[in-house]
Chain A
Amino acid sequence: MFRLLDIEFYKLRNSKYFWILLILFMIFLISVPISVNLFFETIRSNKMTREGRTLVNYVSFFYTEDLWHNLTYIYKLGTILLAFITMISITNEYNYKTIKQNIIDGLSKKEFLLSKIYMIIVLSLFVTFLVGIIGVVTGFLYSQTSDLSLIFENIKYLGFYFIYVLTFLLFSFFIANLIKKSGVSIAIMIFYIIMIEPIIVAISTYGLKIEWLSSFYPINGINNLISNPFSRHFFKDLNRFTLTPFFVSIFYIILYIYLTYKILKNRDL
């Protein structure tokens, strides 16, 4: 396992796109709490009316109980940058036929795939770790709490974030393996996320009236891992917590790995 990770990270750390995307992702991570804080500070200092002030406090982003939920919800957006890393890392191998040479040189197809999957797992763990640090630091700095143990309340969202990133990256990896070309597979993935699946969800929910089905689609299903924390303030009753998204994610993780393996196994390189 460490040999395969060593091989994959040797490829990554010598690649420019990896550093660029990773650094962009980190900038995104850090800029979120800073800019959100700035936003609320501005509102406060602008001598808002009493109602405005209470509203701000009410939805306070940094309110300790909600902190992890709020943070990870916004950080979901950044996952696309990590998906680009995952996708380019495999489409480059097809493009330059280095995947073929790797096999010739002595990796089995299974090992090759595992080296990428290990990389995806480590990357997901790493960014979860970063988000964890940011969460703790933000909690200390902004939440105006004296009880530090409150910061670790609802830290389960960090776990969900990990599952979300992992599943999403494996999804993008699967698409990239299927299509083999980086531009096209990125375009298809984005098109699927913002067009195809929402349409299918709309049809099955409003057209066919099968509402429960929407929790099982690849993107919608994992999105539910970290539901929209801001709407909760308006629809309190909708905020029921279930483990369904977790099991849906596990199902997709297994499915993507299995399908990618099948594709690679049967493909002539």
Chain B
Amino acid sequence: MSEIVLKTNKLTKQYRDIRAIDNLSFTIRKGTTFGLLGPNGSGKTTTLGILLSVINQTSGSFTWFEEGNSNKQRKRIGAILEGPHFYENFTAYKNLKLISKIKGVGDNQIERVLKEVDLYNRKDDKFKTYSLGMKQRLAIASALLSDPEVLILDEPTNGLDPQGIADIRELIIKIASTGKTVILASHLLDEVEKVCNEYLVLKEGKLIHKGKVDQDVTNSLVIELASPDMIKLETVIKSNPYFISLKHNKNFFEVKFDGNTDFTLVANFLFENKIIISHFLVLKKNLETQFLEILEQNV
């Protein structure tokens, strides 16, 4: 249906004695926010390096935009791979200006991207004087420079403080919402979960799972509930505006709520309706549990 942005076919990279990636085939459709998930050393960076033509694959092939994989396609992609790489003695502005020349775009975008990552007032400072977080943000700015159709980010929140992490995630979500395709490599499940809608899991170079981040799972709240009066509990809880579904278990209900509420609101709601609670347990059913299950199945 929708256009294919990337298709890989049995990509393999063999280093001397390790197979960094092994027969990797997957497809990414336009508009997807795609997570590349896997523990350290599982081959995420290697995969992205191949897709960006800085690493030669041992075998297999890939195609961008159903066209090819030359620098012509690469100009339609904005990417950062393993940290920021800039000319140390250039100012931020000059670094971005050089990249504009390489991408063949005018320098009228520089101001916009610098503002986007909040570096505009530091634009005339040399790159080497930047803090790690600022360097990382400049890297993201450079990836946004040509207003690319695809954004590739390898651990984009590495080295950022909590505020920086939140800002970058928000930025990624904002970019994704404009219909751009985003490919995000991370070993932080939480990050992929918050940002992505599709993902694959790598382990020792092998693709062990492909899936969609289940909006239903992540954007919901599941609580185990029990009361001496289970019948009253059931009627009351079903009247909660965020109620989604209820599952009868042996001694308790497993109740699913919309993610826009939280457990304190639920507790408060039950209290106001004068329900006596004998069991209240918030279930953390999210990608992390899925991920750990998947990894375990593949030992």
Contact = CB atoms under 8 A, between A and B. Distances in A.
A106 B102 contact: yes
Contacts of A108: 53, 70-71
Nearest to B50: A268
A14 B54 contact: no
A20 to B, nearest CB: 13
Interface residues of A, number: 26
Contacts of B74: 103-106
A27 B191 CA distance: 57
B219 to A, nearest CB: 34
Contacts of A15: 89
Q: Is the interface of A mostly helix, strand, loop or mixed?
A: helix
A16 interface: yes
A101 B96 CA distance: 12
Most buried by B among A6, A106, A111: A106
B222 interface: no
A6 B97 CA distance: 12
A178 interface: no
Contacts, number: 73
A239 interface: no
B88 A103 contact: no
Interface string A89-118: 000100011101111111111010000000
A88 to B, nearest CB: 12
Interface in B71-114: 71, 74-75, 79-81, 85-90, 94, 97-99, 101-104
A16 B89 CA distance: 9
B150 to A, nearest CB: 12
Nearest to B70: A108
A98 B87 contact: yes
B52 A103 contact: yes
A14 B71 contact: no
B188 interface: no
Given A10-B101, A268-B49, A107 B87 contact: no
Interface residues of B, number: 28
Nearest to B81: A104
Contact of A106 (B55, B71, B80, B81): B71
A98 B55 contact: no
B94 A106 contact: no
Contact of B104 (A3, A10, A14, A100): A3
B101 A103 contact: no
Contacts of B80: 104
A7 B102 contact: yes
A92 B128 CA distance: 14
B54 A11 contact: no
Nearest to B15: A268
A106 B85 contact: no
Interface string B30-65: 000000000000000000010011111000000000
A92 to B, nearest CB: 8
A111 B103 CA distance: 12
Contacts of A104: 52-54, 74, 79-81
A66 B164 CA distance: 68
Contacts of B53: 103-104, 108-109
B87 A96 contact: yes
Top-6 shortest CB links A-B: A106-B75, A108-B71, A97-B85, A101-B85, A269-B54, A268-B55
14 contacts: A11-B98, A15-B89, A16-B89, A96-B85, A100-B54, A103-B74, A104-B54, A105-B79, A106-B103, A106-B104, A107-B102, A109-B53, A268-B49, A269-B49
Interface of B: 49, 52-56, 70-71, 74-75, 79-81, 85-90, 94, 97-99, 101-104, 142
